[in-house]
Amino acid sequence: MLDLVYPFLNFKSFYSLRTTSKQLKEITEQPHYWKVINFTDYPTFDNKVLIDRFSNDYLHVVNVTKKNNSIYSFPKNLLLHAKHIKIIML
């Protein structure tokens, strides 16, 4: 059931949904729910299209605002340090 509504949820709604029950939190720990995180309210392409386009050993941060459509790419090994991040500015 979650897979039916997941494509229509923004990250804030998805994360709120995870807090509603322990079972939902366990289900959403699966990696495919974390491949694309859209913090904005801007609609984007289908997640599969995005994953296929950006598939490699980098984490991609995409600015989807109309002012600046930049793509920032970082090696995935930097994620080991993600637990120290306090602020992400986009």
The pTM of the whole model exceeds 0.75: no
Q: What is the pLDDT of residues 17-64, one digit of tens each?
A: 888 989 989 988 988 888 777 777 666 667 777 777 776 788 888 777
Cα angle 78-80-83, degrees, rounded to a multiple of 5: 110
Same domain, residue pair 11 and 45: no
Q: Residue 60 CB: number of other CB atoms within 10 A?
A: 14
Same domain, residue pair 90 and 66: yes
Same domain, residue pair 63 and 76: yes
Residue 70 domain boundaries = 38-90
Same domain, residue pair 44 and 75: yes
Same domain, residue pair 62 and 27: no
Q: Within 1-90, where are the H helices? A: 2-5, 11-18, 22-27, 47-54
Same domain, residue pair 54 and 86: yes
Cβ contact 68:44 at 8 Å: no
Q: Give the span between the Cα atoms of 31 and 24, in whole angstroms.
A: 14
| Number of domains the chain is built from | 2
Same domain, residue pair 56 and 86: yes
